[in-house]
């Protein structure tokens, strides 16, 4: 029996992927490049979904109708993140938020920024549940969700 | 409901940081304990069900292949069910369906996790929607905190009241775990310690959240015929319920949480329960986060929406209260994710058969177990009772 009974072996698995977006999400990202936020409206339940979906998750029907939604909305909830974890994309501290864009029926996940994030007590005075935020675009578009750089609080 | 099914034995490892053994050995520890508790051998088992977190958790794909020997599944039919945090309930339901169908007399159900071997938050990040939501993910703390804030805002719960109630929940679970020899975290905490603990994602602090645990749990399901033949005190499955919501976070309202509400409703209906607060003797619910635990109380009908903090502050859910919640110390003190939902069921079964030792709630005859999975997406409930 080995003397070192709690011996550990380190390892890591790295696997590459190439994931198809489909036509609906490809068009959504193309519209982000033009600084437009597009949703899709279900012909049966009339909900406007953002990000759009090729089919309605509740009705299970194809959705054909595109609708442009507002770039402003209400903060449904948010969280201040100041803890690191593996392969995290955004730099801490950041604010993860769920925003109900005017004209849509679902919560849209993104980040709130454009304010000094270093002092949480100050952040709390500016970012509020039920408060309004507007999209700020990144100048160089890459065809990803971060073409909306962030949402900033509106006075 | 199919044919009657009972739990005739359970086994758990000593949960915690188990770097003293390799992962298959951990699984085997729980299986050996369950077989001993039931008084049967592997030869008696007709089929095996396994559940764990997705393979990124420990880095080995297809854990039902990996544990074939460790769970005694060689030369037997095997099923794997994986629903993240609610895995333990899903595998229990699978074992139940298998026996209730009449196609097996004895089914071994095993849930396990060895969180010390991988990165839990990174693994959970792979569950998020990959194109539009993962970028903003902050693991479980991020999601549960957003949900808790949404709930407090919707029901106008003052921050101080929510904070005090959450601290009471932390104290209650930590106290309860002191009586549970299997629990990972066994230390009492004071109100002051909870309120001043390190911030994780405000307002959630270190003592509001579960540990990352290594652990395994095994439960043996038996047909009526077999249970009556070999088990002195079976724990009968009285009702089950399971619901899933949409994948995209933000589509369903998580402050009133349809899946938790409907899963419980279905289980209550099957079990003939109309007033859960009165009729249940114990509730072993999935509670990795103190704030979120209160949302579950409301979804399960223990109290009206928005009123959970008041009920908590009255002591309703303490071990001496009207409905003891998590006398085992719950997920808050022990969380090997793939096992967690099954541990809730095992603890419920121990309670209604009078086998819960120091953590026994006197006279318990009807108990609820529950677990949640994914990004607040799935909820599963199993109710067990001393009567068939």
Q: Does residue A13 surpass a pLDDT of 90?
A: no
Taking residue A93's Cβ as centre, other Cβ atoms within 10 Å add up to 15
- The region, left, alpha or beta by phi > 0 then psi within -120 to 50, assigned to residue A123 is alpha
Supply the pLDDT for residue B32.
98
Which residue of chain B is at minimal alpha-carbon distance from A148? Answer: B132
Asked if B373 contacts B344 with a C-beta cutoff of 8 angstroms, the reply is: no
The tokens for B97 are 């369906």
Nearest to B112 by CA among B91, B139, B98, B140: B91
Instruction: Inform me whether the C-beta atom of residue A77 falls under 8 Å from chain B C-beta atoms.
Output: yes
User: Which of A72-86, A94-108, B266-280 shows the lowest per-residue confidence on average (mean pLDDT)?
Assistant: A72-86
Helix B258-271 vs helix B290-299: crossing angle, to nearest 10: 50
Instruction: Inform me whether the C-beta atom of residue B16 falls under 8 Å from chain A C-beta atoms.
Output: no
Supply the pLDDT for residue A6.
87
Supply the pLDDT for residue A155.
79
pLDDT band (50, 70, 90) for residue A2: low
Count contacts between A and B (CB, < 8 Å). 105
From the list B59, B138, B199, the residue facing A96 with the nearest CB is B138
User: Which H or E element spans position A38?
Assistant: strand A37-41
The tokens for A123 are 């952040």
Cβ contact B136–A85 (<8 Å): no
Strand residues in chain B grouped as ranges (E): 5-12, 47-51, 78-80, 106-114, 199-201, 204-205, 214-223, 235-244, 282-284, 366-373, 378-385
Question: For residue range B239-298, what is the model confidence (pLDDT) as tens digits?
Answer: 999 999 999 999 999 999 999 999 999 999 999 999 999 999 999 999 999 999 999 999
Q: Quote ipTM for the complex.
A: 0.94
Selected for mutation to probe chain B from A109, A144, A150 (highest B CB count within 10 Å) is A109
Supply the pLDDT for residue B368.
98
Q: Does residue A4 surpass a pLDDT of 70?
A: no
Stretch 81-120 of chain B: residues touching chain A, C-beta under 8 Å: 119
Supply the pLDDT for residue A1.
61
Supply the pLDDT for residue A84.
87
State how beta strands B235-244 and B214-223 pair.
unpaired
The sign of the torsion formed by the CA atoms of A87, B81, B325, B12 equals negative
3-state secondary structure of B266: helix
Which residue of chain B is at minimal alpha-carbon distance from A83? Answer: B200
Residue A146: list chain B partners with CB under 8 A: 135
* Low-confidence stretches of chain B (pLDDT beneath 70): none
Supply the pLDDT for residue A85.
80
Instruction: Inform me whether the C-beta atom of residue A79 falls under 8 Å from chain B C-beta atoms.
Output: yes
From the list A25, A88, A106, the residue facing B250 with the nearest CB is A106
Residue A138: list chain B partners with CB under 8 A: none
Q: Does residue A89 surpass a pLDDT of 90?
A: no
């Amino acid at each position: 029996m080995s003397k070192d009974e709690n011996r550990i072996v380190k390892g890591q698995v790295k696997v590459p992927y190439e994931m198809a977006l489909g036509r609906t999400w490809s068009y959504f990202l193309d519209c982000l490049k033009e600084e437009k936020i597009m949703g899709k409206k279900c012909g049966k339940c009339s909900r406007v979904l953002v990000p759009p979906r090729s089919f309605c998750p509740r009705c299970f029907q194809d959705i054909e109708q595109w609708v442009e939604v507002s770039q402003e909305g209400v903060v449904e909830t948010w969280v201040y993140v100041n803890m690191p974890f593996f392969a995290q994309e955004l730099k801490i501290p950041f604010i993860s938020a769920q925003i109900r864009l005017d004209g849509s029926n679902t919560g849209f996940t993104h980040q709130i920024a454009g304010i000094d994030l270093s002092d949480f007590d100050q952040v709390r005075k500016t970012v509020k549940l039920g408060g309004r935020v507007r999209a700020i675009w990144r100048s160089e578009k890459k065809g990803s969700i971060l073409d909306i750089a962030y949402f900033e609080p509106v006075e | 409901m199919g044919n009657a099914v009972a739990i005739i034995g359970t086994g758990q490892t000593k949960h915690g940081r188990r770097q003293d053994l390799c992962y298959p050995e951990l699984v085997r520890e729980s299986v050996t304990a369950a077989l001993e508790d039931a008084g049967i051998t592997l030869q008696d088992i007709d089929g095996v069900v396994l559940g764990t977190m997705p393979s990124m958790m420990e880095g080995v794909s297809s854990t039902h292949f990996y544990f074939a020997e460790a769970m005694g599944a060689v030369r037997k039919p095997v099923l794997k069910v994986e629903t993240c945090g609610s895995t333990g309930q899903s595998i229990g339901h699978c074992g139940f369906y298998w026996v209730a169908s009449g196609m097996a007399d004895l089914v071994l159900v095993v849930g396990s996790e060895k969180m010390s071997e991988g990165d839990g938050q990174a693994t959970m990040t792979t569950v998020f929607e990959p194109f539009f939501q993962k970028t903003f993910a902050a693991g479980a703390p991020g999601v549960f905190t957003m949900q808790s804030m949404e709930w407090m805002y919707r029901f106008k719960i003052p921050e101080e009241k929510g904070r005090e109630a959450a601290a009471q929940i932390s104290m209650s679970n930590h106290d309860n775990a002191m009586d549970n020899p299997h629990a990972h975290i066994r230390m009492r905490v004071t109100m002051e310690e909870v309120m001043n603990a390190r911030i994780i994602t405000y307002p959630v602090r270190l003592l509001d959240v579960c540990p990352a645990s290594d652990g395994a749990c095994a439960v043996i399901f038996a047909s009526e015929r077999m249970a009556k033949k070999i088990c002195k005190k079976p724990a009968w499955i009285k009702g089950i319920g399971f619901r899933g919501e949409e994948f995209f976070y933000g589509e369903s309202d998580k402050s009133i949480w349809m899946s938790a509400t409907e899963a419980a409703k279905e289980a209550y209906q099957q079990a003939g329960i109309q007033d859960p607060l009165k009729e249940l003797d114990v509730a072993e619910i999935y509670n990795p986060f103190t704030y979120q635990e209160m949302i579950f109380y409301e979804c399960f009908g223990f109290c009206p929406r928005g009123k959970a903090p008041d009920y908590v502050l009255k002591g309703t859910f303490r071990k001496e209260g009207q409905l003891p919640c998590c006398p085992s110390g719950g997920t808050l003190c022990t969380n090997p994710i793939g096992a967690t939902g099954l541990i809730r069921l095992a603890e419920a079964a121990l309670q209604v058969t009078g086998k819960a030792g120091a953590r026994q709630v006197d006279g318990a005859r009807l108990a609820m177990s529950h677990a949640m999975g994914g990004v607040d997406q799935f909820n599963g409930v199993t109710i067990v009772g001393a009567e068939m």
